[in-house]
Amino acid sequence: MTLPPWSLGVFTSIDAGLGVRLEVARELGVPSIQLHTPHAEGRTPAAAEAFLKKLEEAGIELTCVFGGFEGESYADIPTVERTIGLVPAETRASRLAEMKEISDFTRLLGCSVIGLHVGVVPHDRNSKEYADVIEITRQLCDHAAYNEQNVHLETGQETAEALLHYIEDVARNNLFINFDPANMILYGTGEPIPALKLVGKYVRSVHCKDGTWSDQPGVTWGCEVPLGQGDVNIREYLQTLKEIGYTGPLTIEREIPQEPERQKAEVLHATSLLTQLRKEILGS
C-alpha cells in the first residue's frame, strides 16, 4: 500500500509509550499510524499476526515502530540525559540487543522503519564516549539493514547541527530523521523551522506536535500543548515540509495518555487543522 503525500497519522501504543490506542486511531479515521513497541512479552509472532489483522481490518498502514526501554524517564532534562536511549553506558549493550529484537518484531509487522530517541549524544566529537555511541548506532543500523529497514532518529535532544554531525559520523545509508518540531522547543535545542531546513535532506518521517518554550530553555521543560496552540507555527512548519520536498505521513502526537478523552479530542482537532492546512498548502 502506498500512502498519498501527507497522509494523516497518529502515534499509537499497545502497552507502553504515550500514544493513543489503535481503536482510537480507527475511530479517528486516520490512514496511518506509528507504533510504540510493546513490551518484550508482546513481541511474538502471534502478537504480530493479530496486530496485522487489526490493521488490515481498519485499513491502516503502519509506518514506523518506535523503540523504548525499561528505566527510561522523561521526568526532567537531567534525567533524560541519564536514562534515555542507547547513550547511557550501563544499559547500552542490553538496550542494543533489545533494539535489535524490536527491529526483528518490526519486520514481522511488515514495516520498514524503526525509530528511537538515541539519547543525549556526547558533545565532544573527539571523546571516547562519542566514538562508542557512533559505534553502537552503526551496529543498530547494520542490523536494521539486514531486516531491510531504515532507522529514524527522533529529534529534540540535539541541536540540528549536532544531529547532522552525528549522522555523518555514523556514515550509514539507512540512518534518517523523524523530525519533531515541538521537541526542539521542549528541550530548548533550537528554533524548529530553521532546524528543519538544515536537516531536511535526512527527514523521512515527522511528528505533528506543538509546545511552548520554557523560561529557562535547556534547563527545564517547555510545555506540550494542543497542535496549533504552541510556538511551532504549524502553517510555517508544513510550508517548510513542502519546501524540503517531504511527502511522507503527518503523524500527530499528543502525549497525555493519562487523559484519554482529552487526548482523543485534541488529536481529532489536530486532524482537522492538518487537513485544512494540507488543502491550502498542498492543494489536496
Binding residues vs Mg ion (CB under 5 A): 180, 207, 253
CA atoms of 158 and 213, how far apart (whole Å)? 16
Residue (66 or 105) nearer to Mg ion, CB: 66
CB environment 160-194: b (16+ within 10 A), e (fewer):
bebbbbbbeebebebbbbbbbbbbbbbbbbbebbe
Residue (122 or 156) nearer to Mg ion, CB: 156
CB environment 110-119: b (16+ within 10 A), e (fewer):
ebbbbbbbbb
Beta bridge partners, 20, equal: 12
Residue (98 or 253) nearer to Mg ion, CB: 253
- How far apart are CB 12 and Mg ion at their closest, in Å? 13
- How far apart are CB 40 and Mg ion at their closest, in Å? 23
C-alpha cell at 33: 499510524
Q: Is the dihedral of CA 213, 218, 221, 227 positive or negative?
A: positive
Residue (48 or 175) nearer to Mg ion, CB: 175
Secondary structure of 172-195 in HEC code, one letter for each residue: CCCEEEEECHHHHHHHCCCCHHHH
Residue (180 or 266) nearer to Mg ion, CB: 180
